[in-house]
Chains A and B, each alone.
Chain A
Amino acid sequence: MAIDLHTNNTGTALNKSVVTFDAPLNLACGVVLSEYELVFETYGSLNSERTNSILICHALSGDHHAAGLDANGKIGWWDHYIGPGKAIDTNHFFVVCPNNIGSCFGSSGPSTTNLETGKPWGVDFPSLEVSDWVASQKQLMEHLEIDCWSAVIGGSLGGMQAMHWAVAHPQKLKHAVVIAASLRLSAQNIAFNEIARRAIESDINFKQGNFLDYQTSPTQGLALARMIGHMTYLSNDALGQKFGRLVRSGDLDGAEKELVEFEVSSYLNYQGDKFATRFDANSYILITKMLDYFDLTQDHQNNAVDAFKQAQCKFLVVAFSSDWRFSPSCSEEITDALVSADKDVSYLRIESNQGHDAFLLPNEHYEKGLGQYLQRVTQTLIGAQS
């Protein structure tokens, strides 16, 4: 296991590790992954009873770098909420964040080498479901000799993993924090994912997914896919406030309107291009399909109450008022099912104009609610020790 330790100016010390599992992982699709690697970061320290750990589940495009600054000086995607004195307080908790399989930031996925062929997996990487991510996280948990998570926390696709943990491994977590998530995708959600996939597949450099063999990448298609996705993460209000009709170059009052570039266009193109350089096209297709397939209720006759009856943990459910990707009504469906299943649950509907992305951004009510919920978890930890 390789470890490098950094302490940085966000105040969060991070350990980055890579672990290779040679115990076979039986995937939902029927394929057995005989060996795979997980890259993960940890923050804070595990107590002697090994009871203070929190698992962070990342979303579609996330990675293992959730907090602090990495070796390249890049800040973690959830740094605002993870660190000493922050809502997920690393003075009290040992926080674990893996990059999940099928993704493209070091853990086994389409862009890593298939040991059987000696070539990158590419399109041959097996199809994945949320249960596979949870199964691999459970192997990581066993590797870290943790018997039970204090909490499993995630936003969006991360929230779906937290719910799956609660239902599939009820003894293995005390709390599930489900943020801006849904029991399943709507037709509109699936439609947006399909448009994104078609954008990638239509790129001439996609080469039926074998682009790595040609040492190329469908960056145009991937950028377009991201631009579509990105728009669904933001609200009309937030975009209006940030950009309105501001122009970056050209003059709307002038004769040559074709020279005009709107600020919002420039922003979106930049976001798309930036994403295309860091993300793998096959991973994007794989993980958007994983989102489409997810349905917490599928093994429970489509009944969310029956599904949640399996759970033993307590829940915090959080939604954001302007999120139209997974709107508050999705979180309210989760909450209502939990109440009907007689599970302990609190639900916060945070006022925000930031859309789906709000779960990553600073917000006082959200920060306080999450922080106070986890402080309560800390108190029960201290109570259990004394």
Chain B
Amino acid sequence: MIDTNRIIGDWIEPQSRILDLGCGDGSLLQDLTVRHNIHGYGLEIDPASINQCIANGINVIQHDLNTGLANFADSSFDTVLMTQTLQVLRYPHLVLDEMLRIGQQCIVTFPNFGHWRTRGFLAVKGRMPVTKQLAYQWYDTPNIHFFTYKDFEALCAERGISIVNRTFIGGRASDLGLDKIWPNLFAHTAVYHLAK
């Protein structure tokens, strides 16, 4: 997660207006505020996470992303962020469109289902993967879409979303540089910088 924060920090402008969709306890926004002096707002649905945001002094707005983002004006933010949330949304592609309408640019992170552990889990055990990134049983998981970074890029191409930058995070595989050579096997998390 700290890796992701650093990467996101490199892709945003200091003092910019940032909207974080599914901001959790607000730690990313807090980090970006401290390090880059951004003016941020988080959207969150979970009451306990919302209270943590408030305790941390982060602007948080209780909002269900599945009800849409029509209340936000076109280009009203410099950057719209969404970390590890795309896979839980009812219509991820529509939310991506909305993010690009609201923000000048977007940054999205998601778990890569093509990682060798998930592939191995399904291939060897013949059961749906339960890993550190996807730590739920099939029946109670909030993650309702499983996709690889290649699937994501295909979606971007289909919807005319341009990929400004991308990076992969692969845990120990990163040390060997494997996530750069075979990202779809060795990246557990993908980080994308998107524009219209």
Contacts and interface: CB of A to CB of B under 8 A. Distances in A.
Give the size category of B's interface with A.
Answer: 20 to 34
B165 interface: no
B66 interface: no
A146 interface: no
B39 interface: yes
A372 B57 CA distance: 9
Contacts of B59: 344-346
A19 interface: no
A346 B53 contact: yes
Interface string A366-380: 001100110110000
A218 B51 CA distance: 47
A349 B67 CA distance: 14
Interface stretch (A42-50, A54-62, A128-136, A332-340): A332-340
Given A336-B72, A375-B55, A342 B17 contact: yes
Contacts of B60: 346-347
A339 B54 contact: no
Interface string A339-366: 1101011111101000000000000010
B162 interface: no
B38 to A, nearest CB: 12
Contacts of B62: 347-349
B50 interface: yes
Contacts of B73: 340
A347 B61 contact: yes
Contacts of A365: 47, 51
Contacts of A339: 41, 61, 72, 76
Contacts of B50: 346, 348, 369
Nearest to B41: A339
A369 B57 CA distance: 12
B51 A369 contact: yes
Given A332-B71, A336-B71, A340-B73, A346 B47 contact: no
Given A346-B54, A347-B61, 8 more contacts: A316-B54, A339-B72, A342-B17, A344-B59, A347-B60, A369-B51, A372-B55, A376-B54
13 contacts: A340-B73, A340-B76, A342-B39, A345-B41, A346-B50, A346-B59, A347-B60, A347-B61, A349-B62, A365-B51, A372-B51, A372-B54, A376-B54
Interface of A: 316, 332, 335-336, 339-340, 342, 344-349, 351, 365, 368-369, 372-373, 375-376
Interface of B: 17, 39, 41, 47, 50-51, 53-55, 57-63, 71-73, 76
Which 4 pairs across A and B sit closest by C-beta, in order of nearness? A349-B62, A347-B61, A372-B55, A372-B54
